[in-house]
Structure 1
Amino acid sequence: SLELCPLSCSGFDLKECLQSAEFISSSDGNFKILEDGSVYTTSAVSLSSEKKTFTILLKDIQKEVQKKIHVSLTQKTRHARDTVLKRTKRRWGPIPSVMLENSLGPFPLQIQQVQSDTAQNYTIYYSASGPGIDQDPKGLFYIERETGNIFATRAVDREQYPSFQIICFATTPDGYSPEVPLVHTIRIEDDNDNAPYFTQDLFEFSVPENSKPGVIVGKMTAEDRDEPYTLHTTLKYRIVAQNPPVTPAFSLHGDTGVVSVLLPQLDRELVPSYTLLVEVRDMAGQPFGLCTTGTAVIRIEDTNDNAPSFKQTQYETRVEENRVNVEILRVSVVDLDEPGSPGSGAVYEIIRGNDDRSFEITTDKNTNEGILCVVKGLDYESAKQRILVIAVNNEAPYMLAPHSQQLSQSTSSVTVNVLDVDEGPVFKPCQLRLDVKECEEIGTSIGRYVAEDPETGNSEGISYRIPPGQCNWISIDENSGEVRTIKVLDRDVAEMRQGQCDISVLAIDRSTGTIQVFIQPGNKNYPRIAKTEYIICRDRKPICLTAQDSDESPYSTPFVYHITDRSLASMWKITRHNDNSVYLSPKDDIPFGIYNIPVSVTDNGGKVGENHITVNLCDCVTPTECNGKTRLLSGGNVTLGVWAILAMILGSLLLLLILITICGCCGSGVMHRHVTDDCANHNLIISNTEAPGEEVMDHNIIPLQNTNDQGGYGIKTGDQQTFEMVKGRGHTLESVKGGGHQTLGSVKEGGGQPMMDTCRYSYSEWHNFTHPRLGEKVHLCRQDEEQKHSEDYLLSYNYEGKGSLAGSVGCCSDQHEEEALDFLDQLEPKFRTLAETCVKR
């Protein structure tokens, strides 16, 4: 046989056999199987001529599944440098390496070296695998192939990776492994880089008031992510502040964070809660340790350490005899304990003066008051006054506070005065309800109310009346007790309380009862439309009519609307919107105008209200465009006012007069006047504008007047002298003085009659006459700072050198031959229309 050193067998892919294997073992202790499937010898193995076999067992403990792998070994001889060396002590198992968390380097940083003694016999190459090398976080460590030095490439966070276990391999160049793979641990040494923190943002505790010192209130816990069981995670607690800042009420255990009572007397009535600011620091509380603060709120629970006491020690009240189940008094107490808690809830009792059980006292849970009632009728003749003594306790038992004295039970006395009542006839029932509708006729019988003599059981000999000063709408018959109305009832008047009128009825022996007359709603109001004026534009959008009725149901809505005028009903339509409103819209073919539409509204009780709606159907886009100029239409016909008709008549007469004047003027002019070519040069254009506009209405320019009504413009001078344009046949322009005016005016021929003008003056005559005067006037009126008139203020129209080809088309021009009007074909449409109007046909 051949003695072998520990050897490595071929590996197995164990995952293919059993992927969920949790336990791997060998049937032969001389062989070891790693997780990656590698098989190694643990000691020297001697193989005989027979094959060496063993079994690998794979187990899944949870699923209770196991599988076996049978391994057969064969002999293999190997010569090491042709000599067999004795093994010496190995250095293949170094102590675990340590690397400081958050190390600053420099990197790469050597942290350990592994060496195998087999390097004395073989050429050894080192390699490694595992977390930090070829597993996440990859590339954190590497090992030098020839030296076995292990290096770190960057800093490590211990809280994320506290340690690494890597597998180191020592192999020869041909792949032989003279060493069993080494599992090497690299531990990350902790750095105090995490401050402690509280496990809750706010700790809330409660403790009963008057608790003894040492009673545990609660525990504040904090944690630290640094390495456990080191100074980095050794925490110390302390109270930094207390609110309110009175005598310290609680203590805090520095190591455990337990809060306990310190103050010997906690009084909820003085301080209902405390707020503690607590600090936790690592490094066992040393000043250089990291710290954090947290908050704890401690609420003081109430205990019944305050006894209730009456606000008054004496009360006095009264009650009529024979009254039963009536409240006669309310008493109240003062209790400093928490309101609404059993420690402040009052429990009342009558401890004296109620031997016959005529009285009873209960507690009002809302107000904590005691309600004293009479449960059995009292007799005035037996006792005119009763004196009671009442006491008060709490729902919870009283707890004596430390250093306080026992309090006695609080009591109060109540004096009850019994009032004498005439025990004559009694009304049955003592309160009678009668329902009557408002607006009933006067004298309507609404019921009967009678009293009985308790001794005889009948109403004989009893008369009735209503004492003065009460509701004066109702009367009662003195003998029969029949109730009637003496006025029209109205439930809306101030004397009626929500339609109710209470009346006391008195019998002759002073027995009294009460009648409650409830006035039911009636149909006394007419429905009416609140808004009656509207504007509808050209889009003819409907308007909404809404009626109002002050009556209550069933005499109000739903309303029924109707147009009472037939002609308007055919022009307008009503569409229902809801119970109290409708839409009113015009039909498409009605003209614009103002319409007065009568609309009747009928309520649910049949009462009809007449309304008149004024609608301005206006040719507008928005209602604001309408200025009340639309005609008023009624019944579909146009109705005009007196002034409108008069204006139309006067306008027609004026138009007729103008037409007659124009026709007469044009006719005579055509028949008796002859227009030369030179006259036509100036008839169409007499100024630089088509019509005198605002630009010529200067206070220095006035309209010129001449004898033939052909207007022009002159310049008004400072001495009121006027230059007028005149035309004269065969005359030259000359100055004629008259009437205080200097005019270039009409020249009279024979007998002072005005001469008929046949032509305007020539341009040169006009220019020579007006230009100096215009220049002088402009110079005087419009001077600038340099005493020069503006150059562009006066612009003269240049004369073209000859007259216009067209003759005059004025209505007063002479025209003997129509053949000379060919120039009209070259005029614009407006002038052509004017010319055609003035030509004789």
Structure 2
Amino acid sequence: MAAARPAGSRSGVLCRQLLLTLTVLTLACDACKKVTLHVPSKLDAEKFIGRVNLKECVKFPSLIHSSDPDFQVLKDGSVFTTNAIILSPEKRSFTILLSNTENQEEKEIFVLLEDQTEVPNQTLSKEKVLRRTKRRWAPIPCSMQENSLGPFPLFLQQIQSDTAQNYTIYYSIRGPGVDQEPLNLFYVERDTGNLYCTRPVDREQYESFELIAFASTPDGYTPELPLPLPIKIEDENDNYPIFTETTYVFTVFENCRVGSTVGQVCATDKDEPDTMHTRLKYSILEQLPRSPTLFSMHPHTGVITTSSSQLDRELIDKYQLKIKVQDMDGQYFGLQTTATCIINIGDVNDNMPTFTHPSYAASVEENTVDVEILRVTVEDKDLVNTPNWRANYTILKGNENGNFKITTDPKTNEGVLCVVKPLNYEETQQVTLQIGVVNEAPYSLEGSSRSAMSTAVVTVNVQNQDEGPECIPPMQTVRIKENVAVDTRSNGYQAYDPETRSSSGIRYRKSNDPKGWVTVDENSGSITIIRNLDREAESIKDGIYNITILASDQSGRTCTGTLGIILEDVNDNGPFIPRRTVTICKTTMSSAEIVAVDPDEPINGPPFDFSLASSDSEVQRMWRLAKINDTAVRLSYQNDPPFGPYVVPIRVTDRLGLSQVTSLNVLLCDCITENDCTLRTGARTGNGEVKLGKWAILAILLGIALLFCVLFTLLPDDLTQQNLIVSNTEAPGDDKVVYSTNGFTTHAVGTSAQGVSGAVGSGVRSGGQETIEMVKGQQTLDSYRGAGHHHTLDSSRGGHVEMDNCRYTYSEWTASLSPDSVKKYICVIRRMLRSVVKTMSSRIPTREEGPQRVLLVVAVNDKKKMGLSFWIIWSPNLGH
């Protein structure tokens, strides 16, 4: 199938508006000779009628010329009418002349305009179809002008299948614009294959349509494959270019160089890209203020630059440009839009601050400080409240003593001159200052020979003031030997009158005398000693005693000074040993180091001489002193003395012969460290025993009373089911402890970390003696003896009861107990605890290894066992 235009009868309506169908006949041999454009018979001025491919003739033409002035040809080959024309019944043609100046190439393109105002017949005769040249079933490009005004339906082209020579063929189409949105835009005549458009199309909404054409016989047979049928919508310049913003605001700094970039504007056009319809050109229409012209705009990029270096913010700080953008590359018939561009001129520091007056005068009273004496002002044309305007003041000359300071008032930009160090009229009556001012921002005017700093002179007159006495220097000293005689007189503090430069007429008195050692003469300021001076007194630091003196003149003005009395040392203190107690562990050491000190100055102190101050021959025989250095000796024992405390008197003599005896308490101890010996001996009495305090005895009695209450409460009626059970008891160790009353003896034992199992047997009573003996792994209660029986319960042997003549099991022994026997055991326990309390109230021997504990648990009733612990704790560290 191929596209064809019927040559039959001509029918249709004349085209009322512009209708363009462009068919360019491009043969390889005559591509530069002839182009045919099908146009309506009536053409308006400045209308697009077609496009010629110029590059097929000359790739880079530098000159394009039309032989007919009614037509204009642009660079992309677009052909426009310059005037309104009407085609005569005859065809009209013109020639496009192309030339390339670089290679001197010239070519011509012949353009023929044909009238196409009638629509072909609705039907074609069969003979005409049969006589057609055989065509291929292939797509032929088809196009239509956007926004066409008809007449509608508008004929586009004819599609036909070669099989129509042998079959009756029906044609149909599908796709966007037919059975898809936009619906019913295109349709095809079933019998002829003529393709029509029913209404105008906007290219900006639909750039093209991809239709599918079908050829089939009446009985549904399809001799051809579906044919893709593209329809391109030709663009019309119907969209104005639009700026991205209605008003652009840019800033450029004053005094900038020519060609400095100000900003860039941008516009968009909805027409077809890469065509003359979207080729935009920018320009400046107007500048306000108009003169001088300071800005230019690149026609294609929209970049605005400066064309002059005469921008001065202090003259004009804002410019307004009216800018234009036009399509068709700026051709007069192109569509255009305007916008506004505001250009602010940024400030630079091209104006330095200047003083409003070249000189200033001020006055200030002497001895005043932190007062404002002058304000100076400057002028600056730069932008207010910016670093280019804010001033920095400095004093250039005349402030070598640092009496003045100048700062900037941030609100007024004034320079504030203040006195920060008091002036003395007697020394200086007038001061001349040179002050300068610059901006916070550096001066930026290039090539200028002017200095960036403005200067002025300030004359400050110092006014005299009636001053009080001056205590200068504030700290004065005198030297006096300590222990000097009372009523000794010495120089004191001296103040003076700055007016007369003398001390006459000044009165003195004490303001502070911590120890009350001196008095002050009212007229001369001299001091008199009224108490003994002691350089080694606790509050004296570095041998200097400070008193405060208040000096006043006749008008009542005062000043305060300090008099430091330097106490010269005398040898009035003998050396001594500050550490009065010394411990020597005989197992690890045989001596101790003794250090002496002397409160006096080093000249009256070491080297020291150490000696034993006792005439007792036993002390001389037992102890020896060996010198270590000028202030220390080593004390050692001789002849292996026994453990215990000793008193060793030692005399220490300084270099000038002044001595002092220190009685040293020496403790010889069986220990590893001195601290260990101190802990062990701290809880002992003189005979090695330990006394229990009243609170420990009270705690034991309360525990025993609580035990009795629980025992009597827990005893049920059925005594035959009650048992007395002794739990594991922590004993002291491998040795044993025996407590005794009326022969109830006690033996010291060693501790052991091993667990101890205990057993309680029946008591044995003999001569009223009650004994409880605790041994590692076994405990025997010998408190009641009856009928020659001796009962022992040894839990480590499996819970048997051992008697004098036989051995019973624990259960048998329990079953054999009667209520009376149980009561007897309770009596035994009561009597035993009473004996223990009686013994502990006097003393309890103990070992040094640590605390002892006796645990007694009474369990009653096999079904519900109740327990009670009775603790007796001894700690040698605590002493109870």
- TM-score tier after normalising by the smaller chain length: 0.3 to 0.5
TM-score (norm 2): 0.39
TM-score, with structure 1 as normaliser = 0.40
